[in-house]
Structure formats: C-alpha cells, structure tokens
Amino acid sequence: MYWAFDKRYLGGVLNAPDRELRRMEAEQSPEERLVGLRAPVRKVTYVALATVAAMIVIAWVLYLYCSV
C-alpha cells in the first residue's frame, strides 16, 4: 500500500534512490523547483485531516461512553 501511494500520488519520490532524486530535480522547471518534489496533494491532505478528525470524535465518544 505504501509503494502504491507513493507511486500514484507522490510520483515515487519517497522510494527513489539519491541518484534518481538528483535526476528528477535536474529535470524540473523553475516553477517546479519553487514547490519541490514533495509538494502537498490536496486530496491526500483532505483525507488525512478527515481521518484525524474522525479519530478525535471516536475517542471523545468512547471516553464519554466509558466514563458514564
């Protein structure tokens, strides 16, 4: 799952060796260099925030349920 996530949403930068990263950086345009190879992906950010919010709500509900 980690490999598929990296390949699909991040372009393989997390698993790439140093030579590959240097080659990828050399091929970037000036606009891409400002953002970097690990630019945030909007969908991934929303899913991560929703997951954290759901975990907080579930923990709060379980706390209230078990404390009563």
Domain extent, residue 62, equals 39-68
- Same domain membership, residue 16 and residue 2: yes
- Same domain membership, residue 29 and residue 59: no
pLDDT level of residue 6 (50, 70, 90 thresholds): confident
pLDDT of residue 54: 98
d(CA 59, CA 67): 12
- Same domain membership, residue 32 and residue 13: yes
- Same domain membership, residue 50 and residue 62: yes
pLDDT of residue 35: 67
- Same domain membership, residue 45 and residue 64: yes
| Tens-digit pLDDT profile for residues 18-61 | 888 788 777 877 777 666 656 677 888 899 999 999 999 999 99
Report the domain count for the chain. 2
Higher pLDDT, 11 or 51: 51
Supply the DSSP string of the chain, one letter for each residue: -HHHHHHHHSTTTTT--HHHHHHHHHT--HHHHHH-TT---HHHHHHHHHHHHHHHHHHHHHHHHHH-
pLDDT of residue 38: 64
- Same domain membership, residue 43 and residue 33: no
Give me Rg for the CA atoms of the chain. 18
Contact status, residue 24 vs residue 37, Cβ threshold 8 Å: yes
pLDDT of residue 39: 67
- Same domain membership, residue 27 and residue 57: no
